[in-house]
Amino acid sequence: MNLAKLLLALILAFPTIAAADVVIGESGTTCAQDGACTNRFHPDIPMVASADPGERIVMKGKNARDLQLVSTDQSAADRFASAGPSGIAHPLVGPVYINGAERGDVLAVTIESIDPGPIGWTSASPFGFAADAIGMESRFILWRLTDEYAETEALPGVRIPNASFPGVIATMPDADMLSTMLEREASLAEAGGAVLLPDTDSAQPTSLCGEEGSKPGECLRTIPPRENGGNMDIRYLKVGTTVYLPCNIDGCGLSIGDFHYAQGDGEVSGTAIEMDADITVRTEVFKNGPDLSHGPHYAGPATLLDIPSTSFYATTGYPLKAAGEIPGDIEYLANTKAANLTNLSKDLNLAAQNALVAMIDYIERTYGYDRTQAYMIASVAVDLRIAQLVDIPNVGVTAILPLDIFVQ
Q: What confidence tens digit (pLDDT) does each residue in 27-37 have?
A: 888 999 999 99
Q: What angle do CA 322, 183, 200 make, to 5 degrees?
A: 145
pLDDT at 358: 93
**Residue 140 in domain:** yes
277-313 b/e with 16+ CB inside 10 Å = b? bbbbbbbbbeeebbebebbbbbbbebebbebebebbb
* Closest among 266, 273, 313 to 290, alpha carbons compared: 313
Whether residue 79 is contained in a domain is answered as: yes
Residue 13: count of CB within 10 angstroms of its CB: 8
* 81 vs 72 pLDDT, higher one: 72
Residues 382-404: tens digit of each pLDDT = 888 988 888 888 889 999 988 88
Residues whose CB is less than 8 angstroms from the CB of residue 217 and which lie 6 or more positions away in sequence, other chains included = 198
- pLDDT for position 81: 59
The CATH code of the domain that includes 248 is 2.60.120.580
* Residue 359 domain flag: no
CB 152 within 8 A of CB 140: no
The SS3 call for residue 195 is coil
Q: Cα torsion at 163, 298, 362, 384 (round to 10°)?
A: 20
Tell me the torsion sign for CA atoms 265, 270, 276, 280. positive
- Give the number of domains in the chain: 1
46 in any annotated domain: yes
**5 found inside a domain:** no
Torsion of CA 340, 318, 87, 173, to 10 degrees: -90
Residue 162 lies in a domain: yes
pLDDT band at residue 83, thresholds of 50, 70 and 90?
very low
Distance CA 169, CA 109 (A): 9
Beta carbons of 90 and 64 less than 8 angstroms apart: yes
Q: What is the pLDDT of residue 9?
A: 46
Global pTM reads 0.84
Residue 227, domain member (yes or no): yes
Q: What are phi and psi of 397, to 5 degrees?
A: -125, 145
The residues with which 113 forms a beta bridge, in sequence order, are 280
pLDDT in tens, 225-254: 999 999 999 989 999 999 999 999 999 999
- Say if 377 falls within a structural domain: no
Q: How confident is the model at residue 10 (pLDDT cuts 50, 70, 90)?
A: very low
pLDDT tens by residue, 132-170: 666 667 788 898 999 998 988 888 888 888 999 999 999
Q: In sequence order, what DSSP letters do the residues of 344-369 get, joined into one string?
A: -SS-HHHHHHHHHHHHHHHHHHHH--
Domain that holds residue 279: 21-289
Q: How does pLDDT run across 295-354, given as a tens digit for each residue?
A: 999 999 998 887 778 889 888 988 898 888 877 667 666 677 777 888 878 788 888 888
